[in-house]
Amino acid sequence: MMGNPGQNFDLKEEIRAYWSDRAETFDESSSHRIEDFYGVPEWHAFLRRAFGLTQAQTLKGKRVLDIASGTGEISRVLCGLGAKVTGLDFSETMHSMAKVKLSGEDWSPLLCDAENLVGVPDDTFDFAVTRHLAWTLTQPDFAYAEWMRVLKPGARLVIVDGNWDKQFSFRYRLQRRFAQFLSPAPARSADDIARDTAIRGRLPYRNGLTAARLRQDLTQAGFVSVQEVSVRELYGIGMRSWPLAVRLRQSSENRFALSCTAS
């Protein structure tokens, strides 16, 4: 059952503060920055597949919503395909960085909650994409209903996410150990771990978001033709410019993407 969009206010404010505090170093993370030489071309190819376009088609003349746009990396990729992009985020700090990055592009910021798109008319967008947001939603049912509302009938939504609490295979655990041997991952502060843990423990997807669970929730929200799209190239060829240890950690084993259509 759909909840009240105003509930979980305190949790949302904690989430806003947590990501705003990370904004300054966001683009240093291999999980978020999209490198130009290998990364951007692979993201272009991926989005064309996920949006149901041919590899020769662009998004010229299409209105695209980048949900939880952050510092504007996905928006930058979309602008490169010719789209007219609206970057939705509820962090002013993230938006301030995106505005600098996307200066001169056909991009406009939208400061609002991804679960409550106040002021956005129905049937506005031809496409929408979001990366690494779904697992953090406090009310997924309300969010999916809102995304359905602002998408035109027949518009395509693409969600790129992952199961960050997954029990990894033996092979992947060895892979991560080898990556740590090659180059130890930067240590996280005790405060960062504590804030992250406190937030995760109160989220609906706190036990991990799987492609199957997300497919079920999107279908329940009314989306149709929900299909998985491979992200192997994004985290393989698309990351060749990163050091080997980083590429090993960014394996696509725990990552997935779903494409669906608004009804």
- Give the N- to C-terminal CA distance of the chain in Å, as an integer: 19
CATH number for the domain whose boundaries are 9-261? 3.40.50.150
**Beta strands at 224-228 and 255-261: parallel, antiparallel or unpaired:** antiparallel
| 3-state class (DSSP) for residue 255 | strand
Instruction: At 6, give phi and psi (nearest 5°).
Output: -90, -10
Asked whether 224 and 261 are in contact (CB, 8 A), the reply is: yes
Query: Within 10 A of 100 (CB to CB), how many other CB atoms are there?
Result: 10
What order do you get walking across the sheet with 63-67 strand by strand? 107-111, 84-89, 63-67, 125-131, 151-162, 255-261, 224-228
What are the boundaries of each domain within the chain?
A: 9-261
Please state the length of the chain. Answer: 263
Asked whether 152 and 262 are in contact (CB, 8 A), the reply is: yes
For residue 169, what pLDDT is reported? 83
| 3-state class (DSSP) for residue 202 | coil
For residue 130, what pLDDT is reported? 98
pLDDT digits (tens, 9 = 90+) for 225-234: 999 999 999 9
Closest CA to 64 of 142, 147, 162: 147
Q: Which residue has the tokens 């079920």?
A: 216
pLDDT in tens, the chain (263 residues): 344 545 566 899 999 999 999 989 989 999 999 999 999 999 999 999 999 999 999 999 999 999 999 999 999 999 999 999 999 999 999 999 999 999 999 999 999 999 999 999 999 999 999 999 999 999 999 999 999 999 999 999 999 999 987 777 888 889 889 999 999 988 889 999 999 999 999 999 999 999 999 999 999 999 999 999 999 999 999 999 999 999 998 887 789 999 999 99
Closest CA to 90 of 107, 73, 110: 110
List, in sequence order, every residue forming a beta bridge with 108; answer none if it has no partner: 86
